[in-house]
Structure 1
Amino acid sequence: MSTTPPTPDYELVDTIVLTEPAQVRALGDPLRNTILGLLHERAATVTELAAAVKRPKGTVAHHVNVLVEAGLLRVVRTRRVRAIDERFYGRTARMFYVGSGQSAGSDPLPLDFNDFEVAARESAGAYQAHQLWAFIRHARLSEQEAAEFWLRIKDLVQEFDRVPRSGDTTYGFAVGIYPITDYPTLPAETD
């Protein structure tokens, strides 16, 4: 029986609630999200990340520093290479989510912080190739029921995050619950 190494190859907490606008802004850049996604697999150096995203090392280093300053990345180990300590970066948590820690008068969340917009952009090729698996459903729920359902969804997302990276194809997984104010509803039943 073979044992699969944990994903990623360093210790991290399961979740961190993002309560600072700077943390949320750090996630607002597609390249930084890609870097965070790559680090689900294993810790990596700036050089490795730059090669993976095909961007200059200086550009990637800048984005890594933004993520470190926001508390989303940290150095998880180092190794000595020709008298220089090479840093391996890893995520600080398996999952980040925006919390309700914003107080009155603080900066609002950026309008471009929308995972569905990112998913729509990423999934266009899969849709055109008839390889997009998706559902959208609507249900009238109480706030409590929606919150309970969201907890179950978070468990599924955490399971997806823990899947060992072993295949040749990267898959996206987008989920969400959102209130709709103008969705039609049936009138109350009459006897």
Structure 2
Amino acid sequence: MADHQDQPEAPPSTPDYALEETLELADPKQYRALFEDTRKQIVSVLLERAATTSELAEVLGRPKGTVGHHLKVLEEAGLVRVVRTQRVRALEAKYYGRTARVFLYRREYEAVGEEERLFAHAAAEIAQNPEGIVSANSRYARIPQERAEEWRNRLDELLLEFGAQSAEGDTTFAFVYGVYATTRPALPRDEA
């Protein structure tokens, strides 16, 4: 699994710094670092462009010290890094970026339940801005596991394409999808 599921190629229009396409999380420290709400928000924002602690604090509505702490945890876990610096008066501003476009992970450690949390978060965002909904729907299909995986891969590709759009609009939109097994019973096969 990945923070964007599997790893189809994404157009390189964003972010504004060089990064690896994928990074597979390898130890529990990386899971602890990534699967915390503020840190997930930080790495999500950094897909748009590199940012300073102050910029991230403003966007997230959190104190600079809090954001700085979370950046340090992410940096120590190898999930973000300083991608450039800039002299601002007497100080040197550090711009942070992700180490990979997609973080691959397994459903273990802090990642257990991540899909459920993601959908709960999406539902809460929709409830806060009901006029902003573009589309939401669901369908059920009785298909083999392999076909479900093919659909997931196709949706992964769309998700990465969606996320690689250049930041031109005034509104941030979300793309959320789910392909999952259900306990919904199926009609018996038609014998006619």
TM-score, L = length of structure 2: 0.82
Which residue, out of 142, 145, 151, partners 2:144? 142
CA distance in 2, matches of 1:37, 1:108: 17
Bigger drift between 154-163 and 78-87 goes to 78-87
Specify the alignment match of 1:116 in structure 2. Answer: 119
CA distance in 1, matches of 2:187, 2:178: 24
Which residue, out of 57, 60, 67, partners 2:67? 60
Specify the alignment match of 1:188 in structure 2. Answer: 189
TM-score, L = length of structure 1: 0.82
Q: What are the ranges of 5 or more consecutive residues in structure 1 without an aligned counterpart?
A: none
Bigger drift between 130-139 and 86-95 goes to 130-139
Which residue, out of 7, 14, 21, partners 2:14? 7
Distance 1:121 1:81, change over 3 A: same
**Does the alignment pair 1:161 with 2:163?**
yes
SS in 2 for 1:77: strand
Post-superposition offset of 1:130: 6.3
Percent identical across equivalent pairs? 44
Q: Which has the higher contact order (CA 8 A, sep 6+)?
A: 2
Distance 1:152 1:51, change over 3 A: same
List per-residue Cα deviations over 1:117-147 (Å, max 9, x = no partner).
Answer: 22112221233x3635111111122121111
Distance 1:19 1:187, change over 3 A: farther
**Does the alignment pair 1:171 with 2:173?**
yes
CA distance in 2, matches of 1:50, 1:151: 34
Specify the alignment match of 2:51 in structure 1. Answer: 44
**Does the alignment pair 1:26 with 2:33?**
yes
